[in-house]
């Protein structure tokens, strides 16, 4: 039996990043359409014409409001794919309805106070909440985490990462992935930055300190120039580079130098493509198995709240410099 899905927000991530016959699965609509466990009931958007256009593209319905959708359909799963500043209000409004799970785009909210209130509202895990920090759901990143945690690469030494479009809006992806792969963040220092997307969300540079004492350097690249998302991680026996927004992972092993006897160098990079282009599908699959009790949600509201606390504090520290 299919689960009926409603998408709140008929913009790019909700509906328009791709179309039904595209190879990559980049929107919530495509992920629901591609997964056999779900049936896309339709869209809700403050712009009804926009909702109608998305419904035409994906062959489903559209509704004038949440109340209209729940009055006309049985809704099991909801995607919140609206701008960041609307997440809090939509998630609060949804508590007035009955459904099984909600997927929300990152960040969970625009402030820690809002995030804490949402965590209290959804603390019983009914409905389930899954946050779209997308790389957590991709099999190659889960495998990379397993290899790191197993000790295959040796101790973590240092690392750096590049991002743009605001520390909360997009830098939280970087913070979340580092927490997922390496360790929890205990402290940080903040340096220079600029507001390259939202006027109240600066892209800042900083030094993150993990609970194990090691550091990771986070560096902004203005989205006005171009979009970049990369990580460079150094371990005792490996260098791992995550490039092309996570569509490719490169590995370099430690080997004896051919030029200088007794020295160790890094080998030529071995690159592997990831299934990042299907991250949305993997999110839906994780949610489905979580609803069946066969797995845990890949990114919980508690995970997302930790990211929000770190990134919001970094933004506030930059404004106070």
**Residue 127 CA: distances (Å) to CA of 6, 27, 81:** 14, 22, 17
Q: What is the pLDDT of residues 194-235, one digit of tens each?
A: 999 999 999 999 999 998 899 999 999 999 999 999 999 999
CATH number, domain with residue 145: 3.30.360.10
24-77 pLDDT, tens per residue? 999 999 999 999 999 999 999 999 999 999 999 999 999 999 999 999 999 999
Claim to verify: residue 270 and residue 170 sit in the same structural domain: yes
In this predicted structure, what is the pLDDT of residue 310? 98
Q: Are residues 243 and 196 in the same domain?
A: yes
CATH number of the domain encompassing residue 284: 3.40.50.720
Same domain, 93 and 219: no
Asked whether residue 113 falls in the same domain as residue 159, the answer is no
Residue-wise DSSP of 125-181: -SSEEEEE-GGGGSHHHHHHHHHHHHTTT-SEEEEEEEE-S-TTTTHHHHHHHHHHH
186 with 142, same domain? yes
Q: Are 21 and 60 in a shared domain?
A: yes
Could you tell me the residue range of the domain that residue 266 belongs to?
A: 136-275+308-319
DSSP run (H or E) holding 104: strand 101-105
Round to whole Å and give the CA distance between 104 and 54.
19
Claim to verify: residue 18 and residue 123 sit in the same structural domain: yes
144 and 33 together in one domain: no
CA distance 175 to 207: 11
**Same domain for 195 and 125:** no
165 and 264 share one domain = yes
222-259 burial string, b = 16+ CB within 10 Å, else e?
Answer: bbeeeebbbbbbbbeebbbbbbbbbbbbbbbeeeeeee
Is residue 1 over pLDDT 90? no
- Residue-wise pLDDT for 146-205, tens only, equals 999 999 999 999 999 999 999 999 999 999 999 999 999 999 999 999 999 999 999 999
Do residues 134 and 166 lie in contact, with contact meaning Cβ atoms separated by under 8 Å? no
Question: What is the per-residue pLDDT for 317?
Answer: 93
Specify whether the CB–CB gap between 235 and 153 falls below 8 A.
yes
What pLDDT is attached to residue 307? 98
Which two three-digit tokens encode residue 281? 């599908």
Residues 154 and 215 in one domain: yes
| End-to-end CA gap in the chain | 55
pLDDT computed for residue 259 by the predictor: 93
The rounded distance, in Å, linking the Cα atoms of 177 and 150 is 17
pLDDT for the residue numbered 52:
98
Per-residue pLDDT reduced to its tens digit, 273-289? 999 999 999 999 999 99
pLDDT at 319 over 90: no
Assess contact for 39 and 110: CB atoms under 8 A: no
pLDDT at 321: 64
Domain count, the chain: 2
Same structural domain, 86 and 164: no
Report whether pLDDT(124) > 90. Answer: no
**Tell me, what's the pLDDT at 320?**
72
């Amino acid at each position: 039996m299919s689960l009926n899905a409603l998408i709140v927000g008929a913009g790019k991530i909700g509906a328009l990043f791709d179309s039904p016959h595209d190879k990559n699965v980049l929107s919530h609509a495509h992920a629901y359409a591609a997964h056999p466990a779900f049936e896309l009931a339709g869209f809700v958007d403050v712009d009804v014409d926009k909702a109608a256009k998305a419904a035409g593209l994906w062959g489903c319905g559209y509704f004038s409001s949440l109340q209209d959708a729940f009055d006309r359909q049985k809704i099991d799963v909801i995607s919140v794919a609206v701008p960041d500043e609307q997440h809090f209000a939509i998630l609060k409004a949804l508590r007035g309805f009955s459904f099984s799970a909600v997927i929300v785009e990152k960040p969970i909210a625009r402030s820690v106070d809002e995030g804490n209130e949402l965590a209290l509202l959804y603390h019983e895990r009914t409905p389930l909440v899954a946050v779209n920090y997308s790389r957590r759901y991709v099999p190659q990143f889960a495998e990379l985490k397993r290899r790191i945690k197993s000790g295959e690469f040796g101790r973590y030494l240092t690392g750096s990462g590049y991002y743009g479009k605001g520390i909360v809006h997009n830098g939280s992806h970087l913070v979340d992935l580092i927490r997922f792969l390496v360790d929890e963040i205990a402290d940080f220092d903040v340096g220079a930055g600029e507001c390259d997307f939202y006027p109240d969300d600066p892209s800042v540079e900083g030094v993150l300190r993990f609970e194990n004492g090691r550091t990771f350097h986070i560096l902004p690249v203005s989205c006005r120039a171009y979009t970049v998302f990369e990580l460079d991680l150094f371990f005792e026996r490996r260098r791992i580079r995550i490039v092309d927004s996570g569509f490719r992972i490169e590995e370099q092993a430690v080997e004896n130098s051919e030029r200088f006897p007794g020295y160790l160098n890094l080998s030529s990079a071995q690159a592997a493509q990831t299934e990042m282009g299907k991250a949305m599908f993997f999110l839906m699959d994780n949610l489905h198995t979580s609803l069946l009790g066969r797995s845990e949600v890949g990114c919980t509201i508690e995970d997302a709240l930790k990211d929000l606390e770190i990134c919001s504090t970094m933004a506030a520290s930059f404004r106070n410099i």
